[in-house]
Amino acid sequence: MVIKSHREIMFLSLAIAIIEASNSSHIKEKHMKQILFILLVLSCGLSKANSGVEKKSISVTQQSLVENGLRLPVSFGHDKTFTVEERLLRYKVPGLSFALIKSGKISWVAGYGTVSVPSQEAVTPVTVFQAASIAKPATAFGVMRMRDKGVVNIDKNIEEYLLSSAVPPGKQSQESPVTFKNLLDHSSGLTEGGYMGYDKGENIPSDVQTFNGVYPAKNKPVTVESAPDTTIRYSGAGYTLVEITLSDIFKQPFEKIMDDWVLSTVGMKNSSFDMNYPYIDGKQIALGHDNLGKQIKGGWRVHPEQAAAGLWSTPTDLATLAIEVGNAYKGVSKLLSKASTLAMLSPVMPEKNLASQFGGQPAMTFVVNGQGRDFMFQHGGGNVGYRCLMVMYPETGNGAVFMTNSDMGFGVGMEMIRAASFVYEWPDFKTKRLNKRTVSIDEASNFVGTYYFDSGWKVDIIEVDMADGIAIKFPNGDIYPLTGVKSKNIYVHEETGVEISFTDVAGKHEIHLYNQRGYSKQ
């Protein structure tokens, strides 16, 4: 933001003061009215002084309030706010790009930081990042367009379309087959298939080799572990099967199909599923970094699982896609029918009450929340070295997208989402106010150990010299120091808002995390 006068400085300062004071009981009503009156006078003066650019002036002010108002998920009293630059340094995140959507249009886009740690090259609105799992909703958008055009039947047995591979025998049946629909909404019963990608220079497997677990693929073969349409299991492998099937139908590379049916059609000018896209001349690529701020080997990993994790994009392009889905939800899109959009955004198996596990109700590739004007769809993404998120309220046309080049990117990105929610008055992404409690050394150290979950993963509770003396260590190496809150044995990680509780069952400790229960083998 360029400040041109003392009047503008006063206007911005008062705007920030009013927003901060609105939650304070120390500001008397008459004082608030006086401040508002002064602000009104100043804003009128600005309108006259900047005639013809009033809308831009207001937008820039709101942008500055977001950029200087990053917020933690948890508050123990006074809400702390930070600048984007402060939090990039705190999390050791080199760069972030952000797009704000307002009333169905992109209001502003900005880049912060650099494309890599050693580089002085600034992130810009056209810097390209890996979109990671946001590749999935883009793929689903394409398939649902094909459904509208009569190219595919999403309820048909996928085997009837496949040529180059086959679904391995498993829990599927003629009465309950694997279909496009249950592949897209993660109810196909296929194994989870999360993908770590490949270093540049390695032998890169095809999507068929990946699906079948054949060298040089590093993953196990995909299986149908449960009957389709009986359970929700987030499956990148399911999207790999979608990719294979579409290539068989169109007899074209997947990146060409997606460009024709999604990217070029929607207007995503700086996006591609092509694994060679980063090498195109003139493209500025944000290089990935680990949670310590070190650039990953080669700058990025290659993802032959394109439908699941292989999209390169920008916040502007992803915001354009979000707006199009929002328009289709309201029945005003020329690209996608309202019926197909409602199918994409309708909760899957709502009777199983999966909302708390997913942070919202799982729909076809999206997670949805709220009703009416507060209805929201979102999707996050995390490849090695990259983190991103798309959020959209289709009824109001408001939302945002952030993309970062770091494994720690969710921290700063979510703080910026909370700032946007505060400034633009969204119904979600608010700071949670909690009360700290005194934690004894004996209580905290009592929970140290390894906890195992039925789904096959584990976490460690370790001793640290931060917070209340213990932290949770995740399999990927992330460490969250824990602070005691509420009643006994309940803890929170202040920078993510993740809540954890412990119980003692028959002399053994249990941990409750992400609506799942882990067991100690002590």
How much is the average pLDDT of 136-163? 98
Give the model confidence (pLDDT) of 367-416 as tens digits. Answer: 999 999 999 999 999 999 999 999 999 999 999 999 999 999 999 999 99
Residue 108 Cα distances to 19, 337, 403, angstroms = 20, 28, 15
Residue 43 Cα distances to 7, 48, 351, 422, angstroms = 9, 9, 51, 21
Give the model confidence (pLDDT) of 170-182 as tens digits. Answer: 999 999 999 999 9
What's the count of helices (H) and strands (E) in the chain, helices before strands? 16, 23
Give the model confidence (pLDDT) of 432-451 as tens digits. Answer: 999 999 998 888 888 999 99
Query: What's residue 286's pLDDT?
Result: 98
Q: Going by C-beta distance under 8 Å and a sequence separation of 6 or more, which residues neighbour residue 334?
A: none
Query: What's residue 41's pLDDT?
Result: 35
Query: What's residue 404's pLDDT?
Result: 98
- 251 Ramachandran zone, left/alpha/beta (phi>0; psi -120 to 50): left
Q: How confident is the model at residue 168 (pLDDT cuts 50, 70, 90)?
A: very high
Residue 228: cis peptide before it, omega within 30 degrees of 0? no
How much is the average pLDDT of 318-329? 98
pLDDT averaged over every residue in the chain: 88
CA nearest 417: which of 71, 17, 63? 71
pTM score: 0.84
Query: What's residue 262's pLDDT?
Result: 98
CA distance 158 to 261: 20
Going 69 to 74 to 79 to 81, the CA torsion angle's sign is negative
